[in-house]
Amino acid sequence: MKFSALSIAALATAATTVSANFTLSEPWSTSVWTSGGNASVAWTSVDEAGKKCEIHLLTGNATAATFVSNLTAHGNLVPCDFTRANLHPLPDYISGDYFVRFGENGGDTANYAYSGYFKYVGNGTASYETLTATPAPAAVAAPAADAPAAAASVVQAAVAQPASI
């Protein structure tokens, strides 16, 4: 009986992270992101070649989440058909439970994939962003050298998915 309950709980958790085209594999409940440190978001995708994706950080209740940050802001979108984005340095948000959503830039967030909750450790010196609208698609580019540190994207690199055989 315990095995069945665990299997059902694991399946329910996995189902919350899958969209029609994306499955998030990182971060998970055991992940801890620490302000100033490094983190990764990993995914698989189906039929997303040539599209650009965005990564959002959220907190609060999953049905009425608080938008914290677009981690791929300022022209640092990631190719949807890649498999991982390495983020650093992480902003100094207040400690708590957070989650990530991932999807096509400018797409309907109902079609995004969502991670499970994970721990974020910080002091809260950085403010949450205000989301007024989903940004229009943008080209991949490095942030401007004179951009304020708080506004700079934390995307370090995205890792290409190996070619299919």
Q: What is the pLDDT along the chain (165 residues), one digit of tens a residue?
A: 333 333 333 333 443 456 668 999 999 999 999 999 999 999 999 888 899 999 999 999 988 899 999 999 988 999 999 999 999 999 999 999 999 999 999 888 888 999 999 999 999 999 998 654 333 333 332 223 333 333 345 665 566 554 433
Domain 2-159 belongs to what topology?
Immunoglobulin-like (2.60.40)
Domain ranges of the chain: 2-159
User: Which of 153, 165, 162 is closest to 81 using CA atoms?
Assistant: 162
Tabulate helix, strand, coil % of the chain (nearest 5). Answer: 15, 35, 50
pTM for the model stands at 0.72
Query: Which token pair is 162?
Result: 């190996």
Contact 44, 22 (CB under 8 A): yes
Strand order in the sheet with 155-159: 22-26, 39-45, 84-87, 155-159
